[in-house]
């Protein structure tokens, strides 16, 4: 294929290069995949109101998240079993994040250990995404491993008391290839030693549902905070009401997320919820967003709505499938440069110049949302 010039080019290669089992697992969403599509399309409902005659000879994209500086406000969202996209998986992603000086969030369901990813990431900024298990000792052990390995925050996924239904995976009878394991989940009951695809079908889904704690409540957040000194961020908030509760329970940050449309289908796109959450927290905690970010103007719009940074998931997998670490770096580089150009053409020389007044919504094109 020709050299990719935008993130969609990486997706085109991804769809052609991976086998159906892996490709559809990464691409699919819950049920009819309404939310998967709307996450992307929703950004088009917001229009830009650029300001002119401002000095943008030097555009500064640097920002801080949880007190740590990154070169641009685009991080890597947690995505599972990355070795299905490339043999080096999470190691390649970790190296790319470090070289680009941005944040990587490692998934609990990684196919590479917490320690190996830390080593590959070096002095880079890394957070650990945590599922809360029925067996609290497993949860505590994961937190301690992350602490020892230099992760700077715990990101608790709160939208998965049960695993969403993915029709594509059911049709494909999805299985995790026998040579891969979710190495951080020490109580994982799936058996990948069998060579038969049929023997492995649905084991990942069944074991995940068996392990996760459906009794997850706000008290669980309090318990995790009592167990770690790291900042605790909750991922999966979609309402102002829950954002206020998160603040009341002492979280340090919120990621507005609908799990990439993989849990409850038909929920609002994350960009449509972002403003409500930002307003609800009243600046008391940092707010981030993931879901549907595909170009630099998407990043600009998210920051205008009050996000401190965005996180991208599927595009990183596309980059992995394309060329491992180099592919992930290129994905990040392209969207970084798109964001820089969008800032300049909107009259923003610094991320602090990006304000709500930059946006209009839908066909009204009003200066007020």
Active centre residues (catalytic) = 259
CA–CA separation, 261 and 193 (whole Å) = 31
CA–CA separation, 183 and 100 (whole Å) = 26
CA–CA separation, 277 and 300 (whole Å) = 17
Q: How many CA atoms lie within 13 Å of 369's alpha carbon, on the beta-carbon side?
A: 23
Residue 96 token pair: 């790319």
Which residues touch 229 (CB under 8 Å, ≥6 apart)?
Answer: 147
State whether the Cα torsion 135-81-30-77 is positive or negative: positive
CA–CA separation, 83 and 176 (whole Å) = 10
CB 121 within 8 A of CB 97: yes
């Amino acid at each position: 294929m020709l050299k990719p010039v935008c993130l969609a080019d990486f997706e085109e290669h991804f769809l052609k290069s991976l086998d159906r089992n892996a490709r559809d697992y990464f691409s699919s969403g819950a049920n009819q995949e309404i939310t998967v599509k709307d996450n992307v399309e929703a950004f088009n409902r917001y229009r830009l109101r650029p300001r002119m005659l401002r000095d943008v000879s030097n555009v500064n994209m640097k920002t801080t998240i949880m007190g740590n500086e990154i070169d641009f406000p685009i991080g890597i969202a947690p995505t599972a079993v990355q070795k299905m996209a490339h043999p080096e998986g999470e190691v390649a992603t970790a190296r790319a994040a470090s070289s680009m000086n941005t944040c990587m969030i490692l998934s609990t369901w990684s196919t590479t250990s917490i320690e190996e990813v830390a080593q590959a990431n070096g002095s880079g900024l890394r957070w650990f995404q945590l599922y809360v298990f029925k067996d609290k000792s497993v949860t505590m052990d994961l937190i301690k491993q992350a602490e020892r390995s230099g992760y700077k925050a715990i990101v608790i996924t709160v939208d998965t008391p049960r695993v969403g239904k993915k029709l594509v995976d059911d049709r494909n009878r999805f299985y995790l290839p026998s040579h891969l394991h979710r190495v951080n989940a020490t109580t994982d009951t799936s058996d990948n030693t069998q060579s038969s695809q049929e023997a492995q079908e649905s084991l990942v889904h069944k074991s995940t549902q068996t392990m996760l704690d459906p009794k997850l409540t706000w008290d669980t957040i309090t318990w995790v905070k009592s167990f770690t000194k790291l900042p605790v961020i909750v991922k999966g908030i979609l309402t102002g009401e829950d954002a206020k509760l998160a603040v009341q329970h002492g979280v340090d940050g919120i990621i507005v997320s609908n799990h990439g449309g993989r849990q409850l289908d038909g929920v609002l796109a994350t960009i449509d919820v972002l403003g409500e959450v930002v307003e609800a927290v009243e600046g008391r905690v940092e707010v981030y967003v993931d879901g549907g970010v595909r170009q630099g103007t998407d990043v600009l719009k998210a920051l205008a709505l009050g996000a401190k940074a965005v996180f991208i998931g599927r595009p990183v997998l596309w980059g992995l499938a394309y060329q491992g670490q180099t592919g992930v770096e290129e994905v990040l580089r392209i969207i970084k440069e798109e964001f820089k150009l969008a800032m300049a053409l909107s009259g923003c020389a610094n991320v602090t110049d990006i304000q709500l007044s930059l946006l209009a919504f839908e066909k009204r094109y009003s200066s007020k949302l």
